[in-house]
């Protein structure tokens, strides 16, 4: 059974933690916006580059694949230092965004968004591991919840600002803006986060990186959490990829009204992250995750019953995404302590499982929708979420007793 890390961190490393959290949240806002802005602005990007819309969906698929590749960078962060990987991730964002802005051709933009997406997959595990080393486990839900504000912020702040830039400056403008934020972030983190002591950085060979993965595979708690994340992500994307079609066909909505639906989801994500920060530590992270999963399953099941009117349908989507976000962020908080000696490895594997689940959910969602409509979609999402609950209970049986009161 993995136990809470007892490694002490020098007090000077904890100085200015609030400023560090603010800085990395600002950086993650740009990274998350770069990952998500292609979805709502796919038509504008296709017109700008003179390519069919299907070419932009390929960009989305390539961008999502970076979550899977990110799993290889977690052990590197554990062995060579979190600061280095944070700066590397921001460097990828800068390179990708400026390349797409200066060379507005489809092939270049495809590669540039892949590089920027990979930057997020490199940056996130390093940040979460770095912060988790400096925050006690009983406060982990609070700090991870605050860090995840940047995910909802990309929908509520980042994407609307990108829309304004596209409307009044041009479709290339957001690339320069996000690249510029990345440059600012590199300078800010270089100042705020000191270089890690030589004794902290473990200069090991590829065998050391492999050992990190082998240790992860031997931990039941880690494997249960990875399976849990895969299943609940697949279940969520199974609905996410067709909710627009459901609203459009059920209520004959315009594009503007569909944009409102996206805003509802962003608000639900923010509420879920806030709820994690506010209550997950008090309830205990394990109990919070199980409670959130159960509520999420109930939300899936009642959605078809709420589809009679648009306000009820949007309310049903809000319930699904607030419970899902509360669950996934609470689970991420717990994962920071499953392998205390290899935190970035664990987090990167968790996020890679989420990426794989989203790919599977996106591939099955359309077929499920065409076969049985919203009723079958929600039934499948409920059942797959149940598999996630079973995986979690199996993995965490007996883990951390006495830690999560």
pLDDT in tens, 338-396: 887 778 788 888 888 988 888 888 778 888 888 998 999 999 999 999 999 999 999 98
Residue-range domain boundaries for the chain: 14-203, 218-405
From the CB of residue 392, how many other CB atoms can be counted at a distance below 10 Å? 25
Spatial distance between the Cα atoms of 240 and 159, rounded to a whole number of angstroms: 18
Average pLDDT over residues 264-290: 86
Q: Mean pLDDT lowest for which of 59-73, 91-105, 114-128, 320-334?
A: 59-73
Q: Write the pLDDT tens digit of every residue in 25-70.
A: 999 999 999 988 887 677 778 888 888 877 776 777 777 778 778 7
**78: pLDDT strictly greater than 80:** no
pLDDT at residue 260 in the model = 61
- The CATH number of 14-203, from 1.20.1250.20, 3.40.50.300, 1.10.287.1260, 2.40.70.10, is 1.20.1250.20
* Structure confidence at residue 258 as a pLDDT band (50, 70, 90): low
Q: Which of 296, 252, 307, 317 minimizes the C-alpha distance to 384?
A: 296
SS3 content of the chain, % helix, strand, coil (to 5): 85, 0, 15
**2: pLDDT strictly greater than 50:** no
The hierarchical CATH code for the domain 218-405 is: 1.20.1250.20
Average model confidence (pLDDT) across the chain: 83
**89: pLDDT strictly greater than 90:** yes
Q: Is 198 helix (H, G, I), strand (E, B) or coil?
A: coil
Pairwise pLDDT comparison (315 vs 203), residue with the higher score: 315
**201: pLDDT strictly greater than 80:** no
* Structure confidence at residue 5 as a pLDDT band (50, 70, 90): very low
pLDDT at residue 211 in the model = 67
**7: pLDDT strictly greater than 80:** no
DSSP string, 84-106: HHHHHHHHHHHHHHHHHHHS--H
């Amino acid at each position: 059974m993995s136990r809470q890390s007892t490694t002490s961190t020098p007090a000077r490393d904890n100085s200015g933690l609030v400023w560090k959290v603010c800085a990395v949240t600002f950086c993650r806002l740009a990274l998350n916006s770069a990952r998500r802005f292609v979805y709502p602005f796919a038509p504008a990007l296709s017109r700008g580059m003179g390519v069919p819309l299907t070419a932009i969906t390929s960009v989305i698929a390539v961008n999502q694949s970076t979550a899977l590749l990110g799993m290889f960078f977690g052990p590197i962060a554990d062995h060579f230092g979190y600061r280095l990987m944070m700066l590397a991730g921001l460097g990828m964002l800068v390179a990708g965004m400026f390349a797409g802005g200066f060379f507005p051709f489809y092939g270049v933009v495809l590669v540039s968004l892949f590089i920027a997406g990979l930057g997020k997959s490199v940056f996130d595990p390093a940040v979460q591991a770095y912060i988790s080393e400096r925050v006690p486990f009983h406060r982990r839900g609070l700090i991870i919840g605050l860090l995840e504000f940047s995910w909802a912020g990309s929908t509520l702040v980042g994407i609307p600002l990108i829309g304004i830039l596209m409307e009044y400056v041009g479709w290339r403008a957001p690339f320069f803006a996000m690249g510029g934020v990345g440059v600012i972030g590199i300078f800010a983190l270089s100042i705020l986060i000191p270089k890690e002591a030589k004794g902290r950085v473990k200069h090991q060979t590829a065998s050391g990186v492999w050992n990190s993965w082998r240790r992860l595979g031997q931990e039941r708690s880690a494997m249960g959490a990875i399976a849990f994340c895969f299943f609940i992500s697949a279940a969520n994307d199974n609905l996410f990829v067709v909710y627009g079609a459901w609203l459009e066909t059920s209520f004959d909505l315009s594009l503007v009204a569909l944009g409102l639906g996206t805003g509802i989801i962003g608000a639900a994500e923010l509420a879920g992250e806030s709820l994690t920060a506010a209550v997950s530590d008090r309830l205990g992270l394990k109990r919070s995750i199980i409670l959130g999963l159960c509520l999420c399953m109930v939300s899936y099941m009642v959605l078809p019953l709420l589809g009679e009117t648009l306000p009820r349908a949007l309310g049903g989507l809000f319930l699904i995404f607030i419970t899902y976000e509360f669950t996934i962020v609470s689970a991420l908080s717990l994962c920071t302590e499953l392998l205390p000696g290899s935190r970035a490895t664990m987090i990167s594997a968790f996020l890679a499982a989420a990426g794989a689940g989203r790919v599977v959910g996106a591939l099955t969602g359309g077929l499920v929708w065409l076969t049985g409509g919203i009723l079958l979609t929600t039934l499948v999402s409920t059942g797959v979420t149940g598999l996630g609950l079973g995986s979690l209970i199996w993995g965490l049986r007996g883990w951390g007793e006495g830690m999560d009161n």
